[in-house]
């Protein structure tokens, strides 16, 4: 039975946020990836278009999310469904780190506004 302990999770940092990767092919997952996101206060991640569905659940704090041009606040207990092809921008307007749990399928890519394509290491 694959169990990933916190000490075994890989930590990645990008755009001012921390991504703690638990479920990936490296840890035994065959289809899905899952990670804990930590977004410090004042962080504004660049808008990006995702290639696969993502599910983001807020565990602590709040985010200002712009999804396909529509802004909304998500707070503790809220779950955001991001469909493939959607453009997402995330900002933490609060005064404490926001913590999320995110899942997607293996191989997710994100395209930035300038055309740069990223395959985050926590999704492969």
Q: What is the pTM of this model?
A: 0.93
Question: Residue 121 to residues 35, 36, 77, 78: CA-CA distances in angstroms?
Answer: 11, 13, 26, 25
Distance (Å, rounded) from C-alpha 10 to C-alpha 50?
A: 22
In-domain check, residue 1 = no
List, for the chain, all residue ranges whose pLDDT scores fall below the cut of 50.
none
The dihedral through the CA atoms of 13, 114, 34, 56 has a sign that is positive
End-to-end CA distance of the chain: 20
pLDDT at 1: 62
Residue 2: per-residue pLDDT: 85
Q: How many domains does the chain have?
A: 1
Q: What is the CATH number of the domain that holds 103?
A: 2.60.120.10
Instruction: Kindly state whether residue 71 falls inside one of the protein's structural domains.
Output: yes
> Using CA of residue 55, residue 67, residue 41, residue 96, what is the dihedral sign?
negative
Domain coverage including residue 31: 6-123
Instruction: Tell whether 106 is covered by a domain.
Output: yes
pLDDT in tens, 42-62: 999 999 999 999 999 999 999
Judge residue 118's burial from the number of C-beta atoms within 10 Å of its C-beta, 0-12 exposed, 13-18 middle, 19 or more buried.
Answer: middle
């Amino acid at each position: 039975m694959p169990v990933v302990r916190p000490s075994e999770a890989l930590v990645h940092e990008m755009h001012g946020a921390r991504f703690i990767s638990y479920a990936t092919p490296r840890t035994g997952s065959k289809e899905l990836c899952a990670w804990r996101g930590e977004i410090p206060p004042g962080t504004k991640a660049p808008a990006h278009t995702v290639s696969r569905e993502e599910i983001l659940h807020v565990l602590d704090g709040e985010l200002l999310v712009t999804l396909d041009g529509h802004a909304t606040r998500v707070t503790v207990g809220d779950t955001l469904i991001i469909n493939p092809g959607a453009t997402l921008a995330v900002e933490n307007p609060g005064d404490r780190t926001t913590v999320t749990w995110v899942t997607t399928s293996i191989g997710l890519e994100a395209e930035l506004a300038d055309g740069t394509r990223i395959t985050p290491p926590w999704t492969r």
